[in-house]
Amino acid sequence: MTDPRTSADLLFGTNLVAMVTPMRPDGAISEPGLASLVDHLLATGCDGLVVGGTTGESPTLTDAEAARLVGAVAAQAKGRARVIAGVGTYDTAASVHRAREAEAAGADALLLVCPYYSKPTQAGVVAHCVAVADATELPVMLYDIPARSGIAMEASTLVELADHPRIRAVKDAKGDLFEAMSVMARTSLAYYCGIDELNLPYLACGATGVVSVVGNVVADRTAELIRAVRAGDLDSARSIQGSLIPLTEAIMRTSQGAIMAKAALTELGVIPHATVRLPLLESPPPHLRRLTDALATVAVPA
């Protein structure tokens, strides 16, 4: 069997960042902020740009905004990184529509979250994912995040979906390392860690790469982490992961990843505003102080 990591490197990249969606104070998408963010991520070693995912506040984006984001990021990236469009919703028809719109806008791949709120059966999850995968010619990364979707993609479901020629990878935010290893052993699905706190263990267990929220700020460090694990240098990998603990805690374990990543990028001058859309609220002062302290512990690229 061909190593799934090899083909996934080409389809999706390895050091993926779950991009925030920069916004103006009035809540409209900030085109200058978006261009600046893409340039920052490319300069710091990101080779996969995930647009309109959870961290991009996907539930608040209109169809037109989602497609416009993909087009703007693809135009700014100019082929220097893969553009992966988040297209998942709780409505299969809407997800199919977003997938087709993303393909037309220039996406290289799709990110498809397990349908949330509706809580379908596992057979329904399979039917939903197949319908979206059949809708375009783009490779698909499944997104398994039961804490948000309300249900998990069971191992048997992932194994079944792996038979589809365009379903090629999983962003795993479930945190079950044994199940991940089991599915990797039984299929050609490439795994990407979707939990920043567990990037190192996932990579050590055979994951291809990461889809990182913290990478909005320090994609250079996640790139170093991936390289160290692939080279078998676990001492260096542990040192890198350890150095990122304060920042990871500040971004992922205070209010919410999208909120804190925007606050960090604003603090660094990458985007002009930390605006988020309701029901999210901007970071309160105690969280901002913790974030500022954490940013001081890492060498953040200018």
Which residues are known to be catalytic?
143, 171
CB 31 within 8 A of CB 102: no
CB 295 within 8 A of CB 248: no
Note if the bond before 115 is cis, omega within 30 degrees: no
Burial class (CB in 10 A: 0-12, 13-18, 19+), 145: buried
* Closest alpha carbon to 213 in 171, 261, 143, 149: 261
d(CA 187, CA 168): 10
Phi/psi at 156 (5° precision) = -65, -35
Diameter of the chain by CA atoms?
A: 52
